[in-house]
Chain A
Amino acid sequence: MIRRLVLWLDDRLGAASFARKALRKAFPDHWAFMLGEVALYAYLALLVTGIFLTFFFTASGEDVVYQGSYAPLRGERMSAAYASVLGLSFDVRSGLVMRQIHHWAALVFVAAIVAHALRVFFTGAFRRPREINWLIGTSLVLLAMGAGFTGYSLPDDLLSGTGIRIAYSVLLSIPVVGTWAAFLFFGGEFPAPVTIGRLLALHIMLLQGLILAALGAHLAIIWHQKHTQFRAPGRTEDTVVGSPLWPNYAMKSAGLGLAVFAVLAALGGLVQINPVWLYGPYDPTTVSSPAQPDWYIGWLEGALRLMPNWELRGFGHTIPEPFFPGVLVPGLLITIYALWPFIEQRLTGDREVHHFLDRARAAPRRSGVGAAALTFVVLLTLAGSNDVMARFFGVPVEVVTQVLRGVVLIAPLVAGWVTYVVCRELKAAEGRPVPAWHVVRRGPGGGYVVEDEEE
């Protein structure tokens, strides 16, 4: 039956010549190459569950009185958006599990993207001819984080609303254009009634359109350039070895997709996430503790918590403190990250085409820089939960903050240096034969005699 379908398509599109090559295309099977696929399937789960959610969500900041089935909020005034999420959680069958799968999928989606990006970085897969895909990948990371942030802010609850307030203040802190940027983006002085509708338009339309376009380009380029692979006996730079797409790789990939959905479904049903009914509706005059964003925004939050109170004032103007940890430092990091293939080309002079991947040890300087950057971002993320850590360890939060201020500057340097040295040693050891053992005996006269190893 499938054969008849393919022939039917060939009659109209000339599909057979494409199918002939495509179905036998080689897909390298290394497990680390599947990290991107995990992200892809998590995204698919987001699309499916997200479409369901859009049928129930009301993107309006207008005040309504809640009359649903969650008793502690019955009779309370809240935005229509928040009320619709309560309705989805308590009064729509399978609404809560869909919401929870969607949110868990978002957390796992960004985690998989980050892991995938780290794999690409440490194996040098971004080198020529794959710089374009690195840039597309950078945009995908940022779009995914933006989609996540706008998404979890849609319910207009006390926790996510606080995050929106902070985002507004960071926009405000931009020199010269900050107040304009904040007023135009949010639709007026915070809190503006039109903001929720804009977040929805961004979340379900603009950001998804950009993600789908970038994702399509990302996959098309990989298809065309063919995947990279690790060195192994019998492999060359000019060939790629792997499972055929049909049926082997397609089945493995479909199985992985089902496994991703299964893990997300299990989390969505068994582990509660974002219980907005406990947070209560957003009220700009109160706040909850502890107050953290979702994990992938944690590094920005940590930067805001650790930055000392330095501000620039003069000539009738201010560059407020949040600008430095909220805009300047992240902007620098993202720029270096995005341009890394070109920076590395400039620093190493290597502009050759590479289809073989490096092991991390093969590029000690790259691995050292990567380790330092990763340590920095991870520490910032941890710093975003300094009050939770303070309570957990029984240490004053002020001490945690002060210690992290120092650690976040020193530890990346140490981690980078250690990684560099270890990689360099491992790389050098590969060329050397293992030194032989020698037996040392104490001679009768008291001295030591080295004996050659017995064969």
Chain B
Amino acid sequence: MRPVERPIAGMLALSICGSLALVLVYAAGGQPQLEGTLLAVSLGALGAAVIAWALRLLPQEEVTDVRETEPSPPAVRAAATSALERGEEQLTGRRTLGRLLLGALAALVLVVFFPIRSLGPRPGRSMFHTEWQPGTFLIDGEGHRIRDGQLAVGSVITVFPEGHGGSPVSQALLIRVDPAQLALPPGRGTWAPKGHVAFSKLCTHAGCPVGLYRAAAHQLLCPCHQSTFDVLRGAAPIFGPTTRALPQLPLRIDEDGYLRATGDFSAPVGPGFWELS
């Protein structure tokens, strides 16, 4: 073997070793780091050998191609356009038939919409309502009803309407604050019994769950695009791309001490859409 071939031979040998080792590792049960590294060795050494072969062993030659000039010579272009026109004349020559042909093709386009329409249900009014009704009990993730006293001030829990545990659309945050600090929008004076406030957990920007609560500052932060809401002022937006407050759920505490909704959210939940007024 000539001296210039030796490193290439070495790389090829290394590649063979890598492949064999990989087979052994795999047969022994596999291990991700070894699999990846040995595969990299067997492929990389082979690749290095091939490249070195191309750069060092092959005669380094250059070839020159002549570019074909586009466009085609005028005679050929004329022949092509006249061949096209011959067909065109046949179709457009018979005018009524030609128009009807176009009409039939256009009408077929309408038919295409049927399978597209089948892809999903019509949007409808579901965008405007959730599963919360007057009197619905608030439940936690395990389905247990929430009682007054269960939450301490500064605490937060995700709640759902009873019977719809885990509902993505009706999910809400129940937070307990000091009632003296509340400054809710007008008309919501009875919505927060004993400092319990509930808001839709769906961010009004792009629908991520608003999962971060800075308790001391009473601010909710959405991690997706940093929309921030002031709980004490009815989850009003104070920073970030969102334009609307989190809809609030009106609450009351019943005779047995359970927390219940007195109606649906104050506004449609989640991000905006065309039909939202």
A/B contact in complex, CB under 8 angstroms? yes
Q: Which residues of A contact B (CB under 8 A)?
A: 24-26, 93-94, 96-97, 100-101, 129, 162, 165-166, 168-170, 172-180, 182-192, 225-226, 237-244, 247-248, 251-252, 254-259, 261-263, 265-270, 283-291, 301, 304-311, 313, 316-322, 325, 353, 355, 386-387, 397-398, 401
B226 within 8 A of A: yes
Q: What separation, in Å, do the CA atoms of A321 and B276 have in the docked complex?
A: 13
In contact, B48 and A270 (Cβ under 8 angstroms): no
Indicate whether A318 sits within 8 Å of B65 (C-beta atoms), given known contacts A166-B208, A309-B240: no
In contact, B207 and A304 (Cβ under 8 angstroms): no
Could you give, for residues 235-257 of chain B, a 1 whenever the CB lies within 8 Å of some chain A CB and a 0 otherwise?
A: 00101111100000000000000
Q: Which residues of B contact A174 (CB under 8 A)?
A: 274
Q: What separation, in Å, do the CA atoms of A435 and B134 have in the docked complex?
A: 87
Q: Which residues of A contact B91 (CB under 8 A)?
A: none
Q: Across the interface, name the chain A residue whose C-beta is closest to B167.
A: A285
In contact, B206 and A170 (Cβ under 8 angstroms): yes
Report the minimal beta-carbon distance from A73 to chain B, rounded to whole angstroms: 17
Q: Which residues of A contact B67 (CB under 8 A)?
A: 226, 237-240, 355
Scoring B55, B226, B237 by chain A CB atoms within 10 A of each residue's CB, the highest score goes to B226
Q: Which residues of B contact A286 (CB under 8 A)?
A: 158, 209, 211
Q: What separation, in Å, do the CA atoms of A44 and B64 have in the docked complex?
A: 30
Report the minimal beta-carbon distance from B185 to chain A, rounded to whole angstroms: 18
Q: What separation, in Å, do the CA atoms of A191 and B169 have in the docked complex?
A: 9
B84 within 8 A of A: no
In contact, A187 and B33 (Cβ under 8 angstroms): no
Q: Which A-B residue pairs are the 4 nearest by beta carbons?
A: A269-B36, A258-B47, A320-B272, A262-B44
Report the minimal beta-carbon distance from A321 to chain B, rounded to whole angstroms: 5
Which residues of B50-109 have CB atoms within 8 Å of chain A's CB atoms? Answer: 50-51, 53-55, 58, 60-67, 69-70
Q: Which residues of B contact A (CB under 8 A)?
A: 26, 29-30, 32-37, 39-41, 43-44, 46-51, 53-55, 58, 60-67, 69-70, 116-117, 119-123, 126-127, 141, 158, 166, 168-169, 171, 201, 205-209, 211-212, 222-226, 237, 239-243, 270-277
In contact, A289 and B212 (Cβ under 8 angstroms): yes
Q: Across the interface, name the chain A residue whose C-beta is closest to B30.
A: A93
Q: What separation, in Å, do the CA atoms of A379 and B116 have in the docked complex?
A: 38
Q: What separation, in Å, do the CA atoms of A284 and B276 have in the docked complex?
A: 22
In contact, B26 and A243 (Cβ under 8 angstroms): no
In contact, A287 and B211 (Cβ under 8 angstroms): yes
Q: Across the interface, name the chain B residue whose C-beta is closest to A272.
A: B32
Q: What separation, in Å, do the CA atoms of A313 and B141 have in the docked complex?
A: 36
Q: Which residues of B contact A266 (CB under 8 A)?
A: 36-37, 40, 44
In contact, A244 and B63 (Cβ under 8 angstroms): yes
Q: Which of B37, B44, B171, B206 is within 8 Å of A166, CB to CB?
A: B206
Q: What separation, in Å, do the CA atoms of A240 and B39 have in the docked complex?
A: 37
In contact, A321 and B30 (Cβ under 8 angstroms): no
In contact, A241 and B212 (Cβ under 8 angstroms): no
Scoring B63, B67, B237 by chain A CB atoms within 10 A of each residue's CB, the highest score goes to B63
Q: Which of B208, B239, B242 is within 8 Å of A287, CB to CB?
A: B208
Q: Which of B36, B64, B123, B171 is within 8 Å of A265, CB to CB?
A: B36
Q: Which residues of B contact A398 (CB under 8 A)?
A: 226, 239
Q: Which of B43, B49, B58, B212 is within 8 Å of A248, CB to CB?
A: B58
Q: Which residues of B contact A178 (CB under 8 A)?
A: 273-274
